[in-house]
């Protein structure tokens, strides 16, 4: 049974498991493995579409991939990133949230950013859209933050993150992603918030954790941050499988009888005109 927003809010401290997925097979595997939440993240741009940041990702990309992920995981709560510059105003955010929820079947949207996003978050929540906040390192604006770097290390920035977390909770977010912040800061945010925090590179004291599918299974060849623990080497396994396929085709071993279809000798004879 798919979780409701109310149930998720009550799961503070429950070690929520969130994983990104971007298509039917990854979402199906995530659901079958029993994750609590799926995120169709705009990390899609980097791990699936081959961009070097999330900035080029479009609403069309998100809709296309969310529809596929939803078909793969019909029973899992699914949150979708609104991509860069697709929630610049409350009106634009509402229009795009409506599309991911009504056309693609999302249960919630994720919005990156702090105090500057409050009008957008408030408008979405007022309209009945469940919103997951995302603070700390926000990849869409990573350049303005000095790159993919730890956030909130010094006191002033740590205080800003605490303030943002409190404001986003007051604005009605059902949960908060904390990305790339020191573990003690994430712990403090988690202790102060009544809503669940979901960490990535934010230590063990968050209420849940999220990882990017391709990092977890070893399918992303780009930079692997320290927090991205690999649980499998699927990329190496797939490359090996392709190399064996190529060798068997070139060596005339594939397809063998087990992968071919026979027909009656009589028919073959007649076709050959003998």
State which residue, 158 or 212, has the beta carbon closest to ligand KIV. 212
Task: Write the interaction track for ligand KIV spanning residues 73-112; mark x where CB under 6 A is met and - where it is not.
Answer: --------x-------------------------------
Angle at 131 between CA 179 and CA 28, to 5 degrees: 75
179 included as an active-site residue: yes
Residue range at the interface with ligand KIV (CB under 6 A); choices 6-14, 40-48, 69-77, 153-161 = 40-48
Task: Output the six-digit token pair for 174.
Answer: 């059902």
From residue 135 to residue 174, the character string flagging contacts with ligand KIV as x (rule: CB under 6 A) and all else as - is ----------------------------------------
Query: What is the torsional sign of CA 99, 105, 109, 110?
Result: negative
Could you tell me if 3 and 14 are in contact, meaning their C-beta atoms sit under 8 angstroms apart? no
- Residue of 31, 112, 164, 179 marked catalytic: 179
Helix (H) or strand (E) holding 17: strand 16-20
State the nearest-atom distance from the C-beta of 39 to ligand KIV, in Å. Answer: 6
Candidates 30-38, 41-49, 125-133, 252-260; binding stretch for ligand KIV (CB under 6 A): 41-49
Q: Two tokens at 89?
A: 């105003």
* DSSP label of 214: H
Is 215 near ligand KIV (CB under 6 A)? no
Residue nearest to ligand KIV (CB): 41
Q: Please tell me whether residue 180 binds ligand KIV under the rule CB under 6 A.
A: no
- Residues 184-213 contacting ligand KIV, CB under 6 A: 200, 210, 212
- Whether residue 202 is preceded by a cis peptide bond, meaning omega within 30 degrees of 0, is no
Q: What are the structure tokens assigned to 198, written together?
A: 């979901």
Q: Using CA of residue 228, residue 158, residue 169, residue 8, what is the dihedral sign?
A: positive
User: Binding ligand KIV by CB under 6 A: which of 123, 177, 180, 189?
Assistant: 177
- Quote the CA–CA distance of 244 and 84 in Å, as a whole number: 41
* 42 binds ligand KIV, rule: CB under 6 A: yes
Do residues 40 and 79 make contact, with C-beta atoms less than 8 angstroms apart? yes
Catalytic amino acids? 179
Q: Kindly list the residues in this chain that would bind ligand KIV in the complex (CB under 6 A).
A: 20, 39, 41-43, 81, 134, 177, 179, 200, 210, 212
């Amino acid at each position: 049974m798919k979780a409701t927003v109310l149930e998720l809010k009550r799961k503070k401290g429950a070690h929520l498991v969130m994983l990104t997925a971007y298509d039917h097979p990854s979402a199906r595997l995530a659901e079958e493995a029993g994750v609590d939440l799926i995120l169709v993240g705009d990390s899609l741009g980097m791990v699936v579409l081959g961009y070097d940041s999330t900035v080029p990702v479009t609403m069309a990309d998100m809709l296309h991939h969310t529809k596929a992920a939803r078909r793969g995981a019909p029973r899992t709560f699914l949150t979708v990133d609104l991509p860069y510059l697709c929630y610049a105003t409350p009106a634009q955010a509402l229009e795009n949230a409506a599309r991911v929820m009504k056309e693609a079947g999302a249960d919630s949207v994720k919005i990156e950013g702090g105090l500057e996003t409050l009008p957008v978050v408030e408008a979405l929540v007022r309209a009945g859209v469940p919103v997951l906040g995302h603070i700390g390192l926000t990849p869409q604006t990573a350049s303005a933050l000095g790159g993919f770097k730890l956030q909130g290390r010094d006191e002033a920035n740590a205080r800003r993150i605490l303030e943002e977390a409190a404001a986003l909770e007051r604005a009605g977010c059902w949960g908060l992603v904390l990305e790339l912040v020191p573990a003690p800061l994430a712990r403090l945010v988690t202790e102060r918030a009544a809503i669940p925090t979901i960490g990535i590179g934010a230590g063990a004291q968050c209420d849940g954790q999220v990882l990017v599918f391709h990092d977890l299974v070893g399918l992303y060849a780009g930079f692997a941050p320290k927090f991205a623990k690999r649980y499998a080497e699927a990329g190496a396994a797939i490359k090996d499988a392709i190399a064996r396929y190529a060798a068997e085709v070139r060596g005339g071993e594939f397809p063998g009888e087990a992968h071919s279809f026979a027909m009656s000798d009589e028919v073959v004879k007649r076709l050959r005109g003998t």
